[in-house]
Structure 1
Amino acid sequence: MGSSSSSSLLLFLFVLLLFPFSAPSPARSGTVVPRLPGFRGPLPFHLETGYVEVDEVNGVEFFYYFIESEGNPSEDPLLLWLTGGPMCSAFCGLVFEVGPLKFVSAKYNGSLPSLVYRPYSWTKVSNMIFLDSPVGSGFSFSKHVESYYDAGDISWSQHVYTFLVKWLVDHPKFLSNPLYIAGDSYAGKIVPIVAQEVLNGNLYDLSLGRRVRAPAVQACTVFVILSIEAEKRPLLNLQGYVIGNPVTGEKIDLNARVPFAHGMGIISDDFFKLIQRSCDGQDYQSPIDSECETCFDTFDEILSEINKYNILEPKCAPASPKPKTKGRRALKEEYLHLLKPPPTPALNCRNYAHILAYYWANTDIVRKALHIKKGTVGEWQRCNYDLPYTRDIKSSIKYHLSVTSSGYRALVYSGDHDMLIPFVGTNHWTRSLNFSVIDNWRSWHVDGQVAGYATTYSNNLTFVTVKGAGHTAVEYKNKECLAMILRWLSHKPL
């Protein structure tokens, strides 16, 4: 047996361990969750969890957390939140970024981690769906192993559109609410593609009995045929999208690390000039000769010493490592058997809370409270890097151009201390869309202090930096980002 066949067999066996595939028949209706283990007292907001089948042939079901707006649910926008990775659970967005819960960062002692209310949640101003996607992320699952090998940009975006249509059919009271697609990091690449799928879906012509694609990207997407009868498919009230520290798939995402490092004083003037000269100006990701390759190796060594997620914070052990073999370990009786407990960073590290999420989600009492279907996911992982993912859409730029040129709004924000996807590159590609500048680079404020800088373009595109924030911005600057999204959703200047 060849090495590739052996690897495929090992992956197949690993998937069988994690996903036993004994799920009951699908149901789209959600269940209200009034209390959560680890949170003292009843939840001070409306939480619903549930599943939506997004692929009826293969039995793919996406798990979601829905939280009604703490303001005016009947009128406030509906935001669908996708988490990056790819293959990271949307629970990360709920407890680490924009949701109304967070973990108490206390040293783990074997008991259930504690949750508390987060005051600067985006649910203050919007209804929010946190969607575990693509398949294999969080508590989303498939009844057929083959589906876990098919996850990619195209299938992810199509499945999300299918989810939205079916979810809104089940929740018709939110059909008239303004709809925004939102997400960050790698999901920032998927968000405009999903927005395009929604636009495609809204261009349904009943008289022709077919769907028509928006002309700008008609060769780039394959529209999803839903099982819902054509006349019952709702028009989605899409208003735009929101992306933070976003990936595009373009070379600029990573090439921007070099000028960013130079601007931040991480590399010297001499080395910056050398790497520019050796690597043909700006394409640092494709060494053209040995000198360029040597320079880039040196650059990688320099970066290895710092925290690329936020260059001002300490470098810590990852809470969702790349695949490594771990022994089976059992905790207390109320815990599931854990195959891949992640390494534990120091308590003063920001990602220590990621460890708490891992132990919290892998308990029987939590799964019962969330109404997780038994036998579907053997072990919850914050980011499931064991499963394959295909980057089958090279770039999202054409989708940004198509959706914004069609009159829909876009908010693009970046933490200005993120070296993973530096704001330098994001600023570059937003300018490359060649929209007219309405309001050039200017400061925006929270509590009388500069919170970052913003540029407003024609076609309703706004680019924002968040001062002092990393990857991703909301995790570092909750208060400032809540002010940002409130003003933007309200069509007010930042």
Structure 2
Amino acid sequence: MQTWLFLFLYLSIILILLQWGSCSSSYSEQESDRVSILPGQAFNVNFAHYSGYITVNEESGRALFYWFFEAVEDPSSKPLLLWLNGGPGCSSIAYGEAEEVGPFHIKSDGKTPYLNPYSWNKVANVLFIDSPVGVGYSYSNNSKDLLDNGDERTAKDSLAFLLNWLKRYPQYKGRNFYLSGESYAGHYVPQLAQSIMRYRKSTGDDSIKLKGYLVGNALTDDFHDYLGLFQFWWSAGLISDQTFKRLNIYCDFQLFIQPSSRCDKILDIASEEFGNIDPYSIYTPSCTSNVSFPSNKLLKRLHSARRLGEKYDPCTEKHSTVYFNLVEVQKALHVNPAVAPSKWETCSDVVGSNWKDSPKSVLDIYRELVSAGLRIWMFSGDTDAVIPTASTRLSIDALKLPTISPWRAWYHDRQVGGWTQGYDGLTFVSVRGAGHEVPLHRPQLALVLIKAFLSGTTMPTLPQVITDS
């Protein structure tokens, strides 16, 4: 009896030591990724943040770069939120973190970060990853990997990232988890959600406790995206009646991804009618210097390459380009100089131009995930002429979901913030006056949006005015 008792105690101690060693190792890895202070940072913050690499494929040495921000207050009670930018080939650090929902934005000198008062880490622990390899600081030891990216492998690597990231941050295992993103992340986000749900079902592993996702101005379904695109151009007064009619005649929606000389010609006319505006935000001033491509080339790209949201105006992204190329910044973010890009870019043309697989629609994934009971929201800045509100609404209509709450305005500070409609399994929210990057143009309204989404409430209504009788 004493022998068995001794053996039991011995094994218990060994197990405790192994668990302690695992926790100690995770804590050590976390601390090695902790960012103390950024170059140019002239203010203190009351939240911890971490950055580094997570290997997603040992054989080829694929590793994704991440930057993680704990919530400003009581992070242990807040959910975990992942943000992804699209392209494909664009950096979530460049856009999501540095000019949209992250806490650190960059001043026009390209050297000085400042604190974003509407950062989403006010309501969640926020994780950004540069995905896939070849984007931002993410890398592979096999250079061929950069030429072999696509939707399928991106989802697979992102799932591997999350599983391995949770080994480094075990305190977030089983934490309520949400996905978010915009533009081509309209593919990334539901595809990753599907991968997580199928992984959970096949393995029984519930460490990634996915509760839902939201996507903005999202590439969703080619047919409806292009149908809504031309409708928006015409209704916003960007093109003439004649051009609108010709677009519908010569740019057959079913065949739109195939080159057509007639369609190309009418797109050139549409480009001229657009004038010198920013198609990603049609009512805000356009950048008049160092423009990455004129509007006629943009529209040609929409037709020939089906890339509906690659780059935003370089007048907003050039600050990040300067900052994240600084050696001292890369050192502070634990970028390995042996694998650092020779030139950090907001978007990788190599990745984008060599994309291998991209389904014409992800509506079938929506149907699967709606049935699984996830919280799904789609939001749309209503001044975007690249993936406009009309496109998103047409894609939602194609799902044929019953309406459970009718179309109505939502409010912030007693002003209309946009419009919303609730469906059985999905919520749509438009954001008034926002362009392709909603949190860039309407940061306060975007914070209202994410608060409502995470809390599972509807968008706010106009408060009732109480008067004396």
Equivalent position of 2:428 in the other structure: 463
Instruction: Confirm whether residue 254 of structure 1 aligns to residue 226 of structure 2.
Output: yes
Select 2:315's aligned residue among 352, 364, 389: 352
| Equivalent pair of 2:277/2:286 in contact (CA under 8 Å) | yes
| Equivalent pair of 1:36/1:43 in contact (CA under 8 Å) | no
Instruction: Confirm whether residue 301 of structure 1 aligns to residue 277 of structure 2.
Output: no
For residues 50-97 of structure 1, the C-alpha deviation after alignment (integer angstroms, 9 at most, x for no partner) is: 211001110000010000111331121111111111111111211111
Q: 1:97 corresponds to which letter in structure 2?
A: E
- Give SS of 2:97's match: helix
Select 2:394's aligned residue among 428, 448, 458: 428
Q: 1:95 corresponds to which letter in structure 2?
A: A
Structure-2 change in CA distance of 1:115 and 1:147 (3 Å): same
Structure-2 change in CA distance of 1:488 and 1:318 (3 Å): farther
Structure-to-structure mapping, 1:360-375, within 5 angstroms: 360-375=323-338
Equivalent position of 2:240 in the other structure: 268
Structure-2 change in CA distance of 1:374 and 1:456 (3 Å): same
| Equivalent pair of 1:279/1:288 in contact (CA under 8 Å) | no
Structure-to-structure mapping, 1:140-289, within 5 angstroms: 140-205=138-203, 234-277=206-249, 279=251, 285=256
| Equivalent pair of 2:174/2:207 in contact (CA under 8 Å) | no
Equivalent position of 1:49 in the other structure: 51
| Equivalent pair of 1:310/1:470 in contact (CA under 8 Å) | yes
Instruction: Confirm whether residue 472 of structure 1 aligns to residue 442 of structure 2.
Output: no
Instruction: Confirm whether residue 383 of structure 1 aligns to residue 341 of structure 2.
Output: no
User: How far apart are the structure 1 equivalents of 2:358 and 2:262?
Assistant: 31
Structure-2 change in CA distance of 1:258 and 1:449 (3 Å): same
Equivalent position of 1:104 in the other structure: 107
**TM-score for both structures, normalised by structure 1:** 0.78
| Equivalent pair of 1:60/1:141 in contact (CA under 8 Å) | yes
Equivalent position of 1:65 in the other structure: 67
Q: 1:35 corresponds to which letter in structure 2?
A: I
Equivalent position of 2:305 in the other structure: none
Q: Tell me how far 1:422 sits from its aligned partner.
A: 0.8
- Give SS of 1:306's match: coil
Q: Tell me how far 1:390 sits from its aligned partner.
A: 2.1
Structure-2 change in CA distance of 1:257 and 1:368 (3 Å): same
Structure-2 change in CA distance of 1:319 and 1:151 (3 Å): farther
Structure-2 change in CA distance of 1:293 and 1:117 (3 Å): closer
Q: Single out whichever of 478-487 and 306-315 deviates more from structure 2.
A: 306-315
Structure-2 change in CA distance of 1:317 and 1:184 (3 Å): farther
Equivalent position of 1:118 in the other structure: 116
Equivalent position of 2:448 in the other structure: 483
Equivalent position of 1:315 in the other structure: 286
Q: Single out whichever of 305-314 and 52-61 deviates more from structure 2.
A: 305-314
For residues 133-153 of structure 1, the C-alpha deviation after alignment (integer angstroms, 9 at most, x for no partner) is: 100111100111111111111
Q: 1:156 corresponds to which letter in structure 2?
A: T
User: How far apart are the structure 1 equivalents of 2:115 and 2:71?
Assistant: 14
User: How far apart are the structure 2 equivalents of 1:289 and 1:84?
Assistant: 26
User: How far apart are the structure 2 equivalents of 1:117 and 1:236?
Assistant: 30
Q: Tell me how far 1:350 sits from its aligned partner.
A: 6.5
For residues 345-390 of structure 1, the C-alpha deviation after alignment (integer angstroms, 9 at most, x for no partner) is: xxxx974241121111111111111111111022211111133222
Q: Single out whichever of 311-320 and 357-366 deviates more from structure 2.
A: 311-320
For residues 107-138 of structure 1, the C-alpha deviation after alignment (integer angstroms, 9 at most, x for no partner) is: x4xxx621111111111001111001100111
User: How far apart are the structure 2 equivalents of 1:321 and 1:153?
Assistant: 25
| Equivalent pair of 1:169/1:234 in contact (CA under 8 Å) | no
Equivalent position of 1:93 in the other structure: 96
Q: 1:45 corresponds to which letter in structure 2?
A: F
Q: 1:375 corresponds to which letter in structure 2?
A: A
| Equivalent pair of 1:154/1:393 in contact (CA under 8 Å) | no
Instruction: Confirm whether residue 412 of structure 1 aligns to residue 375 of structure 2.
Output: no
User: How far apart are the structure 1 equivalents of 2:130 and 2:328?
Assistant: 20
Query: Unmatched 5+ residue regions in structure 2?
Result: 1-27, 294-311, 460-469
**TM-score for both structures, normalised by structure 2:** 0.82
Q: CA RMSD in A?
A: 2.4
User: How far apart are the structure 1 equivalents of 2:432 and 2:344?
Assistant: 33
Q: Tell me how far 1:314 sits from its aligned partner.
A: 2.9
User: How far apart are the structure 2 equivalents of 1:255 and 1:319?
Assistant: 31
User: How far apart are the structure 1 equivalents of 2:148 and 2:104?
Assistant: 32
User: How far apart are the structure 2 equivalents of 1:167 and 1:287?
Assistant: 40
| Equivalent pair of 1:28/1:53 in contact (CA under 8 Å) | no
User: How far apart are the structure 2 equivalents of 1:290 and 1:50?
Assistant: 47
Taking only the aligned residue pairs, the percentage that are identical comes to 33
Equivalent position of 1:23 in the other structure: none
Equivalent position of 2:302 in the other structure: none
| Equivalent pair of 1:284/1:296 in contact (CA under 8 Å) | no
Equivalent position of 2:306 in the other structure: none
User: How far apart are the structure 2 equivalents of 1:287 and 1:299?
Assistant: 18
| Equivalent pair of 1:82/1:182 in contact (CA under 8 Å) | yes
Structure-2 change in CA distance of 1:350 and 1:379 (3 Å): closer
Q: Tell me how far 1:287 sits from its aligned partner.
A: 8.2
| Equivalent pair of 2:243/2:269 in contact (CA under 8 Å) | no
- Give SS of 1:57's match: coil
User: How far apart are the structure 2 equivalents of 1:194 and 1:365?
Assistant: 33
For residues 259-289 of structure 1, the C-alpha deviation after alignment (integer angstroms, 9 at most, x for no partner) is: 1011111223344344435556x55836898
User: How far apart are the structure 2 equivalents of 1:288 and 1:48?
Assistant: 45
User: How far apart are the structure 1 equivalents of 2:77 and 2:291?
Assistant: 38
Query: Unmatched 5+ residue regions in structure 1?
Result: 1-26, 207-232, 323-348
- Give SS of 1:74's match: helix
User: How far apart are the structure 2 equivalents of 1:394 and 1:277?
Assistant: 21
User: How far apart are the structure 2 equivalents of 1:374 and 1:289?
Assistant: 46
| Equivalent pair of 2:89/2:348 in contact (CA under 8 Å) | yes
Q: Which has the larger radius of gyration?
A: 2
- Give SS of 2:174's match: coil
Equivalent position of 1:80 in the other structure: 82
Answer 1 or 2: which has greater helix percent: 2
| Equivalent pair of 1:102/1:116 in contact (CA under 8 Å) | yes
